[in-house]
Structure 1
């Protein structure tokens, strides 16, 4: 029987070395590679695909984190299951977003001994014990934050239109567009760029406009 191929994404060399030792000689699991960055992770997935990715929740990349990488994996490699490994305890926002981004399961680093059982469960089960339910819950919560007008604006941002172009197309003032963008970012407690928020909402599937929704 072929072993389960696991890729570990972690920027801490001590953790990479530790998990390699932990899984060495495992009868069911092969930790065949470790990636220290998101870029390395996606090169590896392209050239030597994994069955399971164990992902550190917060990497040191300037433009992305393990949460963002999990979302991209779920979009680009939907057959690969991601298990989030985190040192951030009692952070509900990260926990819920991990599942929103497509994680199969979520473990804290102080319980890493459970990884073999979780990896085997992920390989043999279609859905996690509570992941799908949490994903739906967080999806509905985030979807409820957006009106049709919000979605329309975010779609235009995703299309590469700047705020001046949006104001001209919608026949509103530039100040009104800026204010509208600010309101959306405040709803999500978003501190990065509006383009990054728009792209993330698109990946989450939040930008489909409901025909029966009223402004």
Structure 2
């Protein structure tokens, strides 16, 4: 299956470099490119059904990446958004994640790794660069890493099983099927997980798991 992507960056040399690389990937096709957020939305209005993933730079004229991501999720909820930026600071990461982005990667990422991120995000996973994830979790919880990690001890074995599947980006229905439980039970487990880990949504829970569950 071919993944159709849209690349948005106000630096043409960056766009052209990415396009050149993706031409070497048989399963990734650059369907369009844009220099700012306004152009992104205009393109999607015409070809939205042909785009699976949008790569967004955060700092762009007309409409920045964060506002563009919000509009994409409102108007085209099926399209996945990956932020591709040079910034991993708290003031950039938090708004980006809150905007609905399923991926947050730094521009120093290796091209092959970026291609893999696109594939995994397209399959429903949440892919956050480790530096950005550290910023996010440290500031969202406002606690030390040691105290954060202890929260996992509060989860039951079943809740940890659910968290592991959440980290794969599966829906409630898919989690229920994987673990042979009802969707209602999944929702109960998720509610308990959010409460015990002191997070607000699936993305934050997944980030918490990535940071601590595998260690």
**TM-score scaled by structure 1?**
0.56
Q: 1:129 to 1:57 in 2, by over 3 A?
A: closer
Q: Distance in 1 between matches of 2:78 and 2:94?
A: 21
Q: 1:93 to 1:34 in 2, by over 3 A?
A: same
Query: What SS class does the counterpart of residue 105 from structure 2 fall into?
Result: strand
Which runs of at least 4 in structure 1 moved beyond 6 Å after TM superposition?
none
Point out the structure with the larger helix share.
2
Structure 2: runs of 5 or more not aligned: 143-215
- Deviation (angstroms), 1:22: 0.8
Kindly indicate whether residue 16 of structure 2 is the aligned counterpart of residue 14 of structure 1. Answer: no
Q: How many residues align?
A: 133
**RMSD over aligned Cα atoms:** 2.5
- Deviation (angstroms), 1:60: 2.3
Residue of structure 2 aligned with 1:103, choices 79, 101, 104: 101
Structure 1: runs of 5 or more not aligned: 142-215
**TM-score scaled by structure 2?**
0.56
Q: 1:130 to 1:25 in 2, by over 3 A?
A: closer
Query: What SS class does the counterpart of residue 6 from structure 1 fall into?
Result: strand
- The answer for the alignment partner of 2:55 in structure 1 is 54
Bigger-Rg structure (1/2)? 1
Deviations 1:82-103 (A, max 9, x none): 0000012x41111111110000
Deviations 1:33-86 (A, max 9, x none): 11112121111111112100000011122xx31111111111111111100000
Q: Distance in 2 between matches of 1:112 and 1:79?
A: 26
